[in-house]
Amino acid sequence: MKRYKWNEWITSLTAFLKHRVYLTLSPTLLLALHVPAKDKQYELKHKTYGEDGQCVFCKLANTSESLIYEDDLLAAFLDRKPLGKDYIQVVPKFHIKNINDLNESHIALIERMWEIGLRLLKERKPGEQYYFGFHVPPRNSIDHLHLHCIVLPIKNLCDRLSHNNWLWLMSPKDVIAKLKNERHIRSNINARLL
């Protein structure tokens, strides 16, 4: 009798949920799937906005010398707590709270963030495996849209589980599919109303 491997079962279950079920759920219902962290709203506000009331990522993206990439729309910087061999955050220079605030007009922005993150990782660590993900609210660490760009492997088991298998990180590909799916649903509703 074959011994059952729990990590394979968890990986396949979460992949099914992400790719089959998750994309069809509304943002309101998604909140019910997550167990909210204690004092999450206070924690998000405290981490997102500095003492001067400005968003930390907006300020960093628009004024910092520690940027490794910058253009009119985006900025990239090294994460201060690297999870893998290399760890970059790509952020828009204007404030977007999280992936729930996106619509189909943001597809090009998501694609551009992914493209920049991939290019930077390939320049810094060529020939490696890369991982990309956006936080899914309410499991976001800061209320400013940011793309995690990580060179694998992720260092410790807890981080590996939270970044690879669970529902609170969504790949750029899945975010784009979600936005296209929402556009398709809206066009079907509009067609029925006419």
Q: d(Cα 173, Cα 132) in Å, to the nearest integer?
A: 9
What is the tens place of the pLDDT at every residue in 113-145?
A: 999 999 999 999 999 999 899 988 877 778 899
Which tokens belong to 23?
């994309």
Question: Can you give the length of the chain in residues?
Answer: 194
Residue type for 161, please? L
Confidence of residue 192 (pLDDT cuts 50, 70, 90): low
Whole-number Cα distances in Å, 187 to 80, 100, 103, 114, 180 = 43, 19, 13, 27, 11
pLDDT of 35: 44
Is 71 domain-assigned? yes
Residues whose CB is less than 8 angstroms from the CB of residue 81 and which lie 6 or more positions away in sequence, other chains included: 87
Is 28 domain-assigned? no
Statement: residue 25 has pLDDT above 70: no
Is 41 domain-assigned? yes
SS3 111: helix
When comparing pLDDT for 129 and 24, which is higher? 129
Is 18 domain-assigned? no
Which tokens belong to 56?
């930390």
How many domains does the chain divide into? Answer: 1
Question: What CATH number should be reported for the domain holding residue 100?
Answer: 3.30.428.10
Which tokens belong to 86?
């290399």
Q: Mind telling me the catalytic residues?
A: 148
Containing structural domain, residue 40:
35-193
Check if the beta carbon of residue 112 is closer than 8 Å to that of residue 73: yes
Is 164 domain-assigned? yes
Is 150 domain-assigned? yes
Q: What average pLDDT does the segment 8-32 reach?
A: 58
Using CB atoms within 10 Å of the CB of residue 61, give its burial: 0 to 12 exposed, 13 to 18 middle, 19+ buried.
buried
Is 89 domain-assigned? yes
Is 19 domain-assigned? no
CA 26 to chain centre: 17
Highest mean pLDDT among 31-40, 103-112, 168-177: 103-112
